[in-house]
């Protein structure tokens, strides 16, 4: 089975039990601002935006996941406007080029290893 939707990338932003919860001491996720830009600029055609409940891992709040044909990148501890502005700029660049581009350095710096095999854990 194949989908008719051909977005080359998907961005999942966590806003769940910890992420985006200043009432619990965690940084805010500017969901309304991001959704407004995505809608106004029709960025979903290139980068599908999903605001999700808990994605885990909760020890690194404000988690995002970027999915492309090249793979899945997990990011955590996103704070302030900079990483979210970088996601917006990245999505605009992807739309302009018509394909998924590599993540910018300011986002990639927040990369995390979500799943580590038992062998990798034993080797480290």
Q: Give pTM, 2 decimals.
A: 0.88
Closest CA to 28 of 64, 77, 79: 79
Range of the structural domain that residue 91 is part of: 9-123
Whether 4 is in a domain gets the answer no
Q: Are 75 and 12 in contact (CB under 8 A)?
A: no
Whether 64 is in a domain gets the answer yes
Q: How far is CA 87 from CA 56, 111, 124, in A?
A: 20, 13, 31
Distance CA 83, CA 64 (A): 10
Task: Summarize pLDDT for 19-35 with one digit per residue, the tens.
Answer: 999 999 999 999 999 99
- Token look-up 């998924």 returns 100
Whether 46 is in a domain gets the answer yes
List the chain residues with pLDDT less than 50.
Answer: none
Q: Are 49 and 7 in contact (CB under 8 A)?
A: no
Whether 1 is in a domain gets the answer no
């Amino acid at each position: 089975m194949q989908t008719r939707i051909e977005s080359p990338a998907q961005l999942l932003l966590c806003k769940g039990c910890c992420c985006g919860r200043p009432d619990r001491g965690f940084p805010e996720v500017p969901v309304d601002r991001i959704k407004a830009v995505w809608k106004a600029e029709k960025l979903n055609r290139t980068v599908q935006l999903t605001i999700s409940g808990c994605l885990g891992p909760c020890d690194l709040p404000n988690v995002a996941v970027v999915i492309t044909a090249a793979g899945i990148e997990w990011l955590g501890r996103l704070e302030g406007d900079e990483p979210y502005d970088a996601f917006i700029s990245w999505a605009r660049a992807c739309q302009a080029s018509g394909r998924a581009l590599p993540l910018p350095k300011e986002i990639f710096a927040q990369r995390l290893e979500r799943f580590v095999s038992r062998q990798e854990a034993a080797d480290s």
